[in-house]
């Protein structure tokens, strides 16, 4: 493909994602809220600290609390860079680098497709599929890990199969750097360090050099990969070491012992142990993992495969099965699916696979056009189709389906039925209404509030908050006492134990109903155990 073609795809990507960004005036959900809030803290000079608690996994002592103890910091760093370079401390400025990365994805996907197939038409189709990316189009320009993880994953695959680097040492260094940034973007990015080390070992096993030379060169490459990785991650590990006495936050280890998704918000988190996990009936663990497998399969089929692309993807992967990039991509896809199903089933089924699978997504778009060719040839040999014409017609059809799906999802998930009151910003608008109520009663901003989404509450109001814990009313009151919370704000999607307090104002020892607004109810916490 020509530079003009790549430039067109890049500009088209910028225009499309900027258009979607203009409709998403707020982050819209907790993950994106969190990364944006982290970026604001960095720009404001507060460092890696946050004025809210969204879980209790690392047994926090209070507010402010060290940030990014569960999620990794790269998206917040990118958000902070956007605000720093523009000189503005707003959501639009925070998205600058995410929009640029999202705009580059069609270009990278087309480049990857061309390197795999040497077919310009297939590269164009792959670029268009990445441009109109279906479900992912809702998230790529947001303050989230999707666009950086996709770009880094694509670069990793391209470098792994490159024959243009002058030596294996350069490849090892670049792969180590990419793995480091992938880990800085997401905790499961550490899997890509294992992929880089595995590639080093495999290439030297296959080398025709004599065994002693292979051993020496292989160890050098592994050393270089690790050095490059620690150049990126070393400072973060040292930060964790100073806070917790280990390279990793306690939150990451406790996440392995969840017995249901709501355990993410359990208090105290010291309950999350191997011993407690083993006490749970084996059938519960099995059902949890089967449920995660089903949810993750739906993600693979409907989100990553967009339903209509799924058979083409399988055919394309099979047709390119001898390519090392495809082999690596499939292995990492399966490893990710395994980890998000059997190791972290509750996080995986609730979006972990959607996030982690993003690293493979450009490869999925890149192989789909070849899959279209293989399937067209199969049917053509049996039904007498004009195969080139069939490929052209189906390519147009795929383009229209991709555009239609993207437009449909933006309309239904972002805009909703009222263009003037976008569905995407309903949660933010609700918290703004809560903030207005507290302004009217002259409540000081130094109060601490218990809410569903503390990062979202913080960016909407500037008020400190803690998450409503999963547990009984007594647990809620106990947490309120521990962190000196004064108000409880309930929404429709509150914990099961607090649902009755949302549906009807209830006088309860320690809780006094104050106010009911559109989609929320406010209680004053009057008695703490």
DSSP state of 516: E
Using an 8 Å Cβ cutoff, are 23 and 424 in contact?
A: yes
Cβ neighbors of 429 (< 8 A, separation 6 or more) are 421
According to DSSP, the β-strands at 49-50 and 65-66 are antiparallel
As a whole number of Å, the end-to-end CA separation of the chain is 69
pLDDT for 421 beyond 70: yes
In this prediction, residue 488 carries a pLDDT of 96
pLDDT for 212 beyond 70: no
Which range in 22-36, 210-224, 407-421 is most confidently predicted, on average pLDDT? Answer: 22-36
What mean pLDDT comes out for the span 314-342? Answer: 95
Following DSSP, what letter does each residue of 20-80 receive, concatenated? HHHH--S--SHHHHHHHHHHHHHHTT--SEESEES--TT---SSSEES-SSS-SHHHHHHH
Please report which residue ranges of 245-384 form alpha helices under DSSP H: 250-254, 274-279, 282-298, 310-319, 324-338, 345-347, 353-356, 361-383
DSSP state of 515: E
What mean pLDDT comes out for the span 439-443? Answer: 84
pLDDT: is 288 or 528 the higher one? 288
What mean pLDDT comes out for the span 308-313? Answer: 96
What mean pLDDT comes out for the span 152-165? Answer: 87
Nearest to 61 by CA among 268, 271, 263, 274: 268
Nearest to 68 by CA among 148, 178, 186: 186
Cβ neighbors of 10 (< 8 A, separation 6 or more) are 103, 104, 106, 107
pLDDT for 219 beyond 90: no
What mean pLDDT comes out for the span 52-66? Answer: 94
Taking only the tens place, the pLDDT of each residue in 498-519 is 999 999 888 889 999 999 999 9
Confidence band of 381 (pLDDT split at 50, 70, 90): confident
In this prediction, residue 118 carries a pLDDT of 93
Taking only the tens place, the pLDDT of each residue in 98-150 is 999 999 999 999 999 999 999 999 999 999 999 999 999 999 999 999 999 99
In this prediction, residue 236 carries a pLDDT of 96
pLDDT for 209 beyond 80: no
In this prediction, residue 148 carries a pLDDT of 98
Q: 458: left (phi > 0), else alpha (psi -120 to 50), else beta?
A: alpha
Q: Give the tokens for residue 172.
A: 């090892």
DSSP state of 450: E
In this prediction, residue 165 carries a pLDDT of 61
What mean pLDDT comes out for the span 66-83? Answer: 96
- Is residue 124 reached through a cis peptide bond, with omega within 30 degrees of 0 on the bond before it? no
State which H helix or E strand residue 134 sits in.
none
Burial 177-198 (b: 16+ CB within 10 A, else e): bbbbbbbbbbbbbbbbbebbbe
Residues written for the chain: 529
Q: Give the tokens for residue 449.
A: 């509030």
The proportion of the chain whose per-residue pLDDT surpasses 70, expressed as a percent, equals 96
Q: Sheet of 487-491: strands edge to edge?
A: 52-53, 464-467, 448-451, 487-491, 520-525, 511-517
d(CA 260, CA 345): 9
pLDDT for 208 beyond 70: no
Confidence band of 313 (pLDDT split at 50, 70, 90): very high
pLDDT for 428 beyond 90: yes
In this prediction, residue 45 carries a pLDDT of 94
Widest pairwise Cα distance in the chain? 80
Confidence band of 158 (pLDDT split at 50, 70, 90): very high
Q: 504: left (phi > 0), else alpha (psi -120 to 50), else beta?
A: beta
Using an 8 Å Cβ cutoff, are 291 and 325 in contact?
A: no
How much is the mean pLDDT over the chain?
92
d(CA 374, CA 312): 8
d(CA 201, CA 214): 9
The proportion of the chain whose per-residue pLDDT surpasses 90, expressed as a percent, equals 81
pLDDT for 417 beyond 90: no
Question: How many H-runs (helices) and E-runs (strands) does the chain carry?
Answer: 23, 8
| Four-point Cα dihedral 95, 99, 102, 104, nearest 10 | -140
């Amino acid at each position: 493909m020509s530079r003009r073609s790549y430039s067109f795809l890049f500009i088209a990507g910028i225009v499309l994602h900027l258009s979607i960004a203009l409709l998403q005036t707020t982050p819209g959900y907790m993950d994106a809220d969190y990364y944006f809030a982290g970026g604001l803290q960095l720009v404001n000079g507060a460092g890696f600290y946050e004025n809210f608690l969204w879980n209790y996994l690392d047994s926090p002592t209070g507010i402010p609390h060290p940030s990014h103890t569960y999620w990794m910091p790269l998206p917040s760093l990118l958000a902070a860079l956007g605000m720093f370079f523009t000189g503005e401390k707003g959501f639009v400025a925070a998205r600058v680098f995410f929009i640029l990365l999202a705009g580059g994805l069609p270009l990278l996907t087309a480049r990857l497709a061309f390197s795999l197939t040497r077919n310009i038409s297939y590269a164009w189709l792959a670029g268009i599929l990445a441009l109109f990316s279906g479900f992912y189009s809702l998230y790529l320009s947001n303050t989230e890990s999707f666009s950086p993880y996709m770009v880094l994953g694509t670069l990793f695959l391209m470098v792994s199969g490159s024959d243009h680097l002058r030596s294996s040492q350069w490849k090892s260094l670049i792969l180590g750097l990419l793995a480091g940034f992938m880990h800085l973007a997401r905790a499961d990015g550490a899997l890509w360090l294992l992929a880089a080390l595995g590639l080093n070992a495999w290439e030297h096993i296959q080398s025709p050099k004599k065994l002693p030379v292979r051993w020496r060169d292989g160890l050098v490459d592994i050393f270089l990969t690790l050095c490059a990785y620690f150049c990126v991650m070393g400072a973060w590990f040292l930060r964790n070491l100073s806070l917790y006495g280990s390279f990793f936050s306690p939150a990451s280890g406790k996440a392995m012992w969840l017995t249901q998704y709501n355990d993410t918000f359990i208090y105290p988190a010291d309950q999350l142990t191997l011993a407690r996990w083993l006490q749970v009936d084996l059938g519960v663990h099995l059902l949890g993992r089967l449920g995660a497998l089903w949810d993750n399969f739906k993600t693979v089929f409907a989100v990553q495969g967009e339903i209509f692309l799924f058979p083409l993807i399988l055919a394309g992967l099979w047709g390119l099965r001898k390519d090392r990039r495809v082999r690596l991509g499939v292995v990492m896809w399966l490893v990710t699916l395994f980890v998000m199903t059997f190791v972290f089933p509750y996080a995986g089924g609730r979006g972990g696979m959607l996030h982690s699978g993003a690293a493979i997504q450009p490869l999925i778009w890149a192989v789909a056009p070849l899959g279209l060719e293989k399937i067209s040839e199969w049917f053509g040999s049996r039904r007498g189709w004009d195969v080139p014409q069939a490929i052209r017609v189906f390519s147009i059809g795929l383009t229209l389906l991709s555009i239609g799906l993207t437009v449909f999802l933006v309309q239904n998930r972002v805009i909703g039925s009222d263009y003037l009151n976008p569905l995407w910003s309903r949660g933010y608008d609700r918290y703004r209404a809560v903030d207005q109520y507290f302004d009217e009663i002259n409540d000081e901003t130094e109060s601490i509030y218990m809410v569903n989404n503390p990062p979202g509450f913080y960016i909407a109001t500037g008020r400190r908050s803690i998450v409503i814990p999963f547990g009984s009313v007594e647990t809620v009151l106990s947490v309120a006492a521990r962190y000196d919370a004064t108000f409880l704000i309930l929404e429709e999607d509150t914990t099961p134990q607090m649902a009755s307090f949302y549906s009807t104002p209830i006088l309860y020892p320690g809780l006094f109903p104050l106010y009911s607004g559109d989609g929320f109810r406010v209680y004053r916490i009057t008695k703490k155990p």
